[in-house]
C-alpha cells in the first residue's frame, strides 16, 4: 500500500466480538468514506477452514481489500482489522509467526488504532470461537499496540459512547492534518 500521506488510516483492532465491524461501518458512513472489511471472515465462509496454512492467503486478501478501500477514500479510510491482528491471531492459535507476514506488515503504516473494550455480548456466528478468552485477548492486543508504539485509543461504554469517543479522536487527528 503506498503511504498516502494525506489519508488518515484508522484500524479497528482487538479481540473477537467487540463491535469492531459495526463501529467501522458506522464511522465510514459518518465520514462518507470507504472501509475494508475483515477478509478472514469472508475466507472462512468461502473455504470453510481457518488454520495455519491460511495465514498468508488471508493476509494477502486483507491487503487487497485495504488497497481497494484506500484508493477510493476521502481524507480517511477505515480498516475492520489489519495484518497486525492477523499476526496476533496466528500467534494465539498456532504459536506461529510467518516471516512473509512480518515483511508485509513492516510495509504498512497505519495512523490510528481503535481498541474497543470487551463489553458486547458473545455472539456465536459459527466463525468466532473462544468466548471465554476475550478479556485475556484484549490485554494481549493492547500489549501488542504498546510494544509497537502504535497510536491507539481504547473505546469504552455503549456503542454510542464508543462512537462518540472515536469521532472525537478522529476529528482531532483530521484537524491536526489540516493545520
Burial class of residue 42, CB neighbours in 10 A (0-12, 13-18, 19+) = middle
Give pLDDT, residue 50. Answer: 82
Give pLDDT, residue 1. Answer: 42
Contact predicate 30/37, CB 8 Å: no
> Is residue 49 classed as helix, strand or coil in its secondary structure?
coil
pTM for this predicted structure: 0.92
Q: Which fold has domain 9-178?
A: Rossmann fold (3.40.50)
State the average pLDDT for the chain: 90
Give pLDDT, residue 151. Answer: 96
Give pLDDT, residue 3. Answer: 60
H or E, element range at 79: strand 76-79
* Phi then psi dihedrals of residue 53, to 5 deg: -75, -10
Burial class of residue 105, CB neighbours in 10 A (0-12, 13-18, 19+) = middle
Give pLDDT, residue 177. Answer: 83
Q: What does the alpha-carbon distance between residue 126 and residue 132 come to, in Å, rounded to a whole number?
A: 15
Give pLDDT, residue 130. Answer: 65
26-42 pLDDT, tens digit per residue, is 999 999 999 999 998 88
Residue 92: beta bridge partners?
Answer: none
123-147 pLDDT, tens digit per residue, is 666 665 666 778 999 999 999 999 9
- Which regions in the chain score pLDDT beneath 50? 1-2
Give pLDDT, residue 29. Answer: 97
> Is residue 12 classed as helix, strand or coil in its secondary structure?
strand
Domain ranges across the chain: 9-178
Burial class of residue 101, CB neighbours in 10 A (0-12, 13-18, 19+) = buried
Strand ranges of the sheet holding 152-155, from the earlier edge strand across to the other edge? 35-36, 76-79, 8-12, 112-116, 152-155
Give pLDDT, residue 70. Answer: 94
Amino acid at each position: 500500500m503506498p503511504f498516502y500521506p494525506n489519508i488518515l488510516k484508522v484500524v479497528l483492532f482487538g479481540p473477537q466480538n467487540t463491535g469492531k465491524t459495526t463501529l467501522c461501518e458506522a464511522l465510514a458512513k459518518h465520514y462518507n468514506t470507504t472501509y475494508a472489511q475483515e477478509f478472514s471472515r469472508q475466507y472462512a465462509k468461502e473455504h470453510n477452514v481457518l488454520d495455519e496454512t491460511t495465514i498468508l492467503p488471508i493476509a494477502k486478501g486483507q491487503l487487497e481489500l485495504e488497497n481497494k478501500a484506500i484508493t477510493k477514500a476521502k481524507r480517511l479510510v477505515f480498516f475492520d482489522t489489519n495484518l497486525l491482528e492477523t499476526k496476533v491471531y496466528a500467534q494465539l492459535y498456532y504459536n506461529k509467526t510467518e516471516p512473509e507476514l512480518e515483511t508485509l506488515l513492516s510495509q504498512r503504516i497505519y495512523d490510528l488504532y481503535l481498541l474497543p473494550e470487551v463489553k458486547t455480548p458473545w455472539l456465536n456466528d459459527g466463525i468466532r470461537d473462544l468466548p471465554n478468552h476475550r478479556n485475556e485477548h484484549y490485554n494481549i492486543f493492547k500489549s501488542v499496540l504498546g510494544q509497537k508504539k502504535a497510536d491507539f485509543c481504547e473505546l469504552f461504554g455503549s456503542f454510542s459512547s464508543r462512537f462518540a469517543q472515536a469521532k472525537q479522536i478522529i476529528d482531532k487527528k483530521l484537524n491536526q492534518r489540516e493545520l
